[in-house]
Amino acid sequence: MKAQHSPSYSRRILLGRITSILGAILTARPAAVIGADSNDKPISVKDYGAKGDGVTDDYASIKEAVRKINEQKGGTLIFPKGTYYIGAIKDLRDPSQDWDITFSECRGLTIDLQGSSIVVRGNFRRSADVKAARGYVSFKNTVIPIKLVNCQDCHLRNGTLLGGVGELTRDSGVVEGPCHGVMINGGADIYISDLTVRDFAADGVYIAPSPSAQGKKATRIRLDRVTSTNNARQGMSIVGGIGIRADGCYFGLTGIVKGAYGNHPPSAGVDVEPNVKPRDGNYTGQIEFINCKFDRNKGHNFVASSPESTASITLSECTFIGDAAARGQAFYAGAVNTYVQDCVIRQCTFMNCALMPGYAHRTSANPSSTKVENCTFSITKLRTPSIYVQSKLENLHITLRQNVLYFEPSGDIPRYFIQISNKGVEFTQNKIFVSAHKLLASGARPRFALQGISMYSDNEWIGRTQNDINPSQIIGPTKEESTNDRFLLDRTWIIPS
């Protein structure tokens, strides 16, 4: 007898079940289409002889397990809990040899570290082998423990990659080499979660176009809860990619490494710097950072300075922390620099960290635009202006609107706490809190320069007394440029920390 549908089985219940199913699909990792039935059974690196004891060289065993994954074009590779040591040194004198742990052309791939660590050998010297345009290239490099080439529907999760830079040394003048933690060349729908990448001699994460396939960019890359720290050159580099999203990630202390190796410039938390100009408007872009932390990197905290090849970057609810006392040797140290097409910075927090939209060493013919809205700046120690826009750049449009800035400086202070001198800037509806009581003994006062900008109006300058802030401390704009600004005294507040 056929079951009868209950008349009480409402559309709402049906919709609820459909929504639950769709929700499960949408929140799952990128779909892994595992071609053949034989691929369903996970492959363990221990099945191929890996020990995971932190002492045995597991390089050959891991390579053999990966060869099997590549042979079947996908599947699941697991690293049972342990520490896996890679004892090989990558020697670039033989370009036919693939030294890295390379997953190639996989469709439906899971790499589950299961809480394990992969430790790359670092106790060797990178020798000066070939003279280059700048410095010397070394044939000797560390192995990349996770390299994805033209892979699709991949998930890398739950572990730690250690690059050994604390033991590494190099000859004088040796430049960076391919010594990354995770390298993504092309491919699509790649998801990295709950991963720590640290102590690599180049970048924690490196995203680049495919080495084949006419240089097709990596597409739809997502990082959740990824920590990239204490790497010598970059927390993450994006040299070619579309649709990259990082959520709840940490990019910190780049260029701050143990041992004698030192750092490589630019030593940024994240650097978006495409190597190739786009074809047919196919820009590197649609890049989004949400609730990420950029912490005391030796170079920029975040930099994207190629408007001719980069478009559409959003930084939302992120925190940027500078350390002027320790890393004030470069004007841009710890700063956030955006010189691209269509950048939005919203609801972010800047702690002793400068914002330099449009800071560049050359002018591009392409237009650059940055919107900075509803952000908070907390400045107690900073040797550069907290917001700096230089005058020489053309085709620049920067909107600074509805931000809150707190200044309570002490010690050495910059000439101007805000220095803007570009006709493409709008500075409106901002609140600027100034407390100069820690400078009274020196007689110094915070000063602000806003000259030649396109729009300046409806800002509030707030202090406890006239010793904190008054109109004489603002250089420009002219009366014609300024409308409805207010100076409010006898106010108290607590600077965010």
Cα 342 to Cα 324: distance, rounded to the nearest angstrom: 29
Give the position of tokens 């041992």.
Answer: 259
Q: How far apart are the first and last CA of the chain?
A: 70
Amino acid 18: pLDDT: 31
- Which of 233 and 26 is assigned the larger pLDDT? 233
Residues linked to residue 373 through DSSP beta bridges, in sequence order? 346, 401
Quick check: 404 pLDDT over 80? yes
- Summary mean pLDDT of the chain: 87
Q: Which helix (H) or strand (E) holds 411?
A: none
**Environment class of 281 (CB within 10 Å of its CB; exposed 0-12, middle 13-18, buried 19+):** exposed
Least confident interval from 32-46, 123-137, 199-213, 399-413: 32-46
CB of 137 closer than 8 Å to CB of 175: yes
- Within 41-137, strands assigned E span 43-44, 53-57, 75-78, 83-86, 90-91, 102-104, 107-120, 125-126, 130-131, 136-137
At 438, is the secondary structure helix, strand, or coil?
A: helix
| Three-state SS annotation for 273-314 | CCCCCCCCCCCEEEEEEECCEEECCCCCCEEECCCCCEEEEE
Confidence label for 29 from pLDDT (cuts 50, 70 and 90): very low
Top-ranked range on mean pLDDT: pick from 256-265, 383-392, 438-447 = 256-265
Cis peptide before 266 (omega within 30 of 0): yes
Q: What is the pLDDT of residue 482?
A: 60
Q: What is the pLDDT of residues 160-193, one digit of tens each?
A: 999 999 999 999 999 999 999 999 999 999 999 9
pLDDT, greater one: 396 or 268: 268
Q: In the predicted model, is pLDDT for residue 33 greater than 50?
A: no
C-beta separation of 375 from 349 below 8 A: yes
- pLDDT over 80 (residue 277): no
Q: How confident is the model at residue 309 (pLDDT cuts 50, 70, 90)?
A: confident
- 455 φ, ψ (degrees, to nearest 5): -150, 130
Distances (CA, A) of 472 to 419, 421, 469, 492: 15, 18, 8, 21
481 — pLDDT class (breaks 50, 70, 90): low
Query: Which residue's structure tokens are 């002793």?
Result: 352
pLDDT of residue 357 exceeding 60: yes
Separation CA 282–CA 276 (nearest Å)? 11
- What are the tokens at 476? 């420009």
Q: What residue ranges do the domains of the chain occupy?
A: 68-210+218-254
Buried b (16+ CB within 10 A) or exposed e, 103-117: bbebbbbbbbbeebb
Q: What is the pLDDT of residue 368?
A: 86
Q: Which residue has the higher pLDDT, 129 or 95?
A: 129
Range from 60-69, 71-80, 269-278, 315-324 carrying the lowest mean pLDDT = 269-278
Q: What does 241-263 look like in DSSP terms, one character per residue? A: EEEEEEES-EEE-TT--SSS---
Q: Is the predicted pLDDT of residue 379 greater than 80, yes or no?
A: yes
Which pTM was predicted?
0.89
Share of the chain above pLDDT 90, in %: 64
Q: For 404-426, what is the mean pLDDT?
A: 90
CATH code of the domain occupying 68-210+218-254: 2.160.20
